[in-house]
Structure 1
Amino acid sequence: MGWLWWLGAALVLGVVEMLTVDLIFLMFAGGALAAMLVALVGAPFWVQILVFAIVSAALLFVVRPWAKRFLDRSTPDTATNIAAHVGREATVLIDVTEHAGRVKLAGEVWTARAARHGSVLPTGTTVRVVRIDGATAVVDATADDQLYQF
Structure 2
Amino acid sequence: MNYYVWLILAVGCFVGELFTMEFSLACLGLGLAGAALAAWLGAGLWLQAGVFAGVAAAAWLGIRPLAKRHFYRNAPRVKTPAEEVIGKTAVTETEVGPLLNNGRVKVAGESWKATALQTLSAGTECVVEKLDGVTLTVRPK
TM-score w.r.t. length of structure 2: 0.72
Structure 1 pair 109–54 and aligned structure 2 pair: CA distance change class (3 A): closer
What letter corresponds to residue 108 of structure 2 in structure 1? A
Structure 1: distance between partners of 2:8 and 2:120:
62
Kindly provide the CA deviation profile for residues 4-62 of structure 1, in whole angstroms up to 9, marking residues without a partner as x: 5534654469759x67x653453133111221233244332243234323422432333
Q: Which residue of 2 aligns with 1:51?
A: 51
What letter corresponds to residue 58 of structure 1 in structure 2? A
How far the C-alpha of 1:73 sits from its partner, in A, is 0.9
How far the C-alpha of 1:105 sits from its partner, in A, is 0.5
How far the C-alpha of 1:134 sits from its partner, in A, is 4.1
Structure 1 pair 48–135 and aligned structure 2 pair: CA distance change class (3 A): same
What letter corresponds to residue 6 of structure 2 in structure 1? W
CA contact (8 A) 1:14 1:29 kept: no
Q: Which residue of 2 aligns with 1:101?
A: 103
Q: Which moved more, 1:104-113 or 1:42-51?
A: 42-51
Q: Which residue of 2 aligns with 1:141?
A: 140
Structure 1: distance between partners of 2:112 and 2:58:
51
Q: Which residue of 2 aligns with 1:23?
A: 23
Query: What is the root-mean-square deviation in Å for CA atoms of aligned residues?
Result: 3.1
Q: Which residue of 2 aligns with 1:125?
A: 124
How many residues end up aligned between the 2 structures? 138
For the residue of structure 2 that corresponds to 1:28, the secondary structure is: helix
Structure 2: distance between partners of 1:89 and 1:28:
48
Instruction: For structure 2, list consecutive stretches of 5 or more residues without a partner in the other structure.
Output: none
For the residue of structure 2 that corresponds to 1:129, the secondary structure is: strand
Q: Which moved more, 1:86-95 or 1:73-82?
A: 86-95
Q: Which moved more, 1:97-106 or 1:132-141?
A: 132-141
Structure 2: distance between partners of 1:94 and 1:128:
15
Instruction: For structure 1, list consecutive stretches of 5 or more residues without a partner in the other structure.
Output: 143-150
